């Protein structure tokens, strides 16, 4: 019931409240307080219009920003009468009139040329944003100075030769040097084998495909041709075998033999002989068939054997120490005193008597 007799009113802070009708007093409405108000400076030389977002409190002095004169825009007399719908407390009496403040003489202000305010930098501005100076300069290439280059050269990392963890194999470079001679020798050996086979067939042809039995002279010629063809065939096969040994770095003697035999008939074996005289090729032949891995395995085996020997020596030392400890633990047998034994025998004899 009490709420129905309350009046709703909004204060200057924007909050709604309800006040009993017998406690409210006449005040300016919130709309009147929040309305923008324009005041005129009383200085006749200035006459500037000052616009405020809300009405100034009564009796409060305001300073003109233009001439610097202080004046009171709102006095008790100038207060507008309370409008309809506004209330006041009954206890509040009439306010005393406030005498207007005496106007002060306006001080002489010397006009100075104020420098243009610097553009405020936003804290959220990105460093990559272009400034006015950079836009005026335009785009271009910034070259490093000699000092900057020297400083960068000092801090530049220096790379040195990295030592190989494992031993390099000499077979790779050696095989690269023997590719061409071995291929030429293989081609020559195949041609020689083919020529020897044809020679053998040419000598055996009259003996196989002749209707009449050959004479002694024809038989001798056929046998000679067959032997020569067989020798040429074997010669070419040996050249091919030497070429394979040269290419695979298998057997140095067989590779040299094949190269020497390859001199006839096309002189290709000379290239093989020159390749075999190269120190890199000799190193490839001298290396084991499996390369440096075999050497590493041999080294590992030697290390294992050394470790086994050390373990055996340690075991022997431990056994010796245990034997010494056992000897120390055993107490030596004390020798029996002969005099004491004689006395004991005499005592025993007396007891028997």
Say whether pTM exceeds 0.85. no
Helix (H) or strand (E) holding 51: strand 49-52
Domain for residue 19, yes or no?
yes
Domain for residue 20, yes or no?
yes
Domain for residue 165, yes or no?
no
Domain for residue 349, yes or no?
no
Query: pLDDT tens, 317-351?
Result: 777 777 777 766 655 545 545 555 666 666 666 66
Quote the number of domains for the chain.
2
Domain for residue 325, yes or no?
no
Domain for residue 203, yes or no?
yes
User: 10 Å Cβ neighbour count for 273?
Assistant: 15
What is the pLDDT at residue 23?
A: 46
Using the CB atoms, write b or e for 27-48: b if 16+ within 10 Å.
bbeeeeeeeeeebebebeeeee
Q: Which domain holds residue 189?
A: 171-286
Cα-Cα-Cα-Cα torsion 136, 141, 146, 148, nearest 10 degrees, comes to 80
Highest mean pLDDT pick, 147-151, 290-294, 337-341: 147-151
Domain for residue 106, yes or no?
no
Asked which of 286, 313, 337 is the last residue of a domain, the reply is 286
Query: pLDDT tens, 185-222?
Result: 999 999 999 999 999 999 998 888 888 887 888 889 99
For the record, the structure tokens of 138 come out as 């335009």
Query: pLDDT tens, 216-267?
Result: 888 899 999 999 999 999 999 999 999 999 999 999 999 999 999 999 888 9
Domain for residue 62, yes or no?
yes
Asked which of 47, 71, 95 is the last residue of a domain, the reply is 71
Asked which of 286, 305, 338 is the last residue of a domain, the reply is 286
């Amino acid at each position: 019931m009490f709420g129905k007799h309350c009046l709703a009113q909004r204060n200057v802070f924007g909050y709604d409240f309800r006040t009993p009708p017998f406690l409210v007093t006449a005040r300016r409405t919130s709309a009147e307080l929040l309305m923008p108000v324009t005041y005129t400076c009383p200085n006749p030389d200035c006459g500037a219009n000052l616009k405020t977002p809300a009405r100034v409190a009564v009796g409060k002095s305001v300073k003109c920003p233009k001439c610097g004169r202080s004046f009171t825009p709102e006095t008790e007399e100038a207060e507008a009468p309370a409008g309809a719908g506004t209330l006041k407390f009954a206890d509040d009496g009439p306010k005393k009139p406030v005498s207007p403040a005496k106007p002060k003489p306006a001080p002489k202000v010397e006009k100075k040329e104020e420098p243009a305010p610097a553009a405020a930098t936003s804290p959220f501005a990105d460093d990559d944003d272009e400034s006015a100076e950079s836009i005026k300069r335009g785009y271009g290439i910034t070259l490093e100075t000699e000092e900057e280059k020297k400083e960068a050269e000092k801090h530049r990392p220096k790379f040195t030769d990295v030592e190989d963890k494992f031993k390099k194999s000499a077979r790779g470079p050696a095989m690269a040097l023997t590719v061409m001679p071995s291929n030429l020798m293989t081609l020559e050996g195949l041609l020689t084998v083919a020529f020897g086979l044809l020679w053998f067939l040419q000598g055996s042809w009259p003996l196989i495909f002749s209707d009449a039995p050959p004479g002694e002279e024809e038989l001798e010629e056929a046998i000679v041709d067959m032997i020569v063809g067989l020798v040429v065939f074997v010669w070419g096969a040996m050249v091919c075998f030497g070429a394979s040994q040269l290419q695979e770095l298998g057997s140095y003697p067989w590779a040299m033999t094949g190269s020497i035999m390859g001199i006839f008939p096309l002189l290709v074996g000379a290239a093989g002989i020159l390749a075999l005289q190269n120190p890199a090729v000799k190193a490839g032949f001298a290396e084991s068939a499996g390369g440096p891995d075999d050497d590493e395995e041999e080294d590992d085996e030697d290390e294992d054997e050394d470790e086994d020997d050390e373990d055996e020596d340690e075991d022997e030392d431990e056994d010796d120490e245990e034997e010494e400890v056992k000897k120390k633990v055993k107490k030596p047998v004390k020798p029996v005193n002969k005099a004491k034994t004689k006395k004991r025998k005499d005592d025993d004899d007396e007891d028997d008597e």
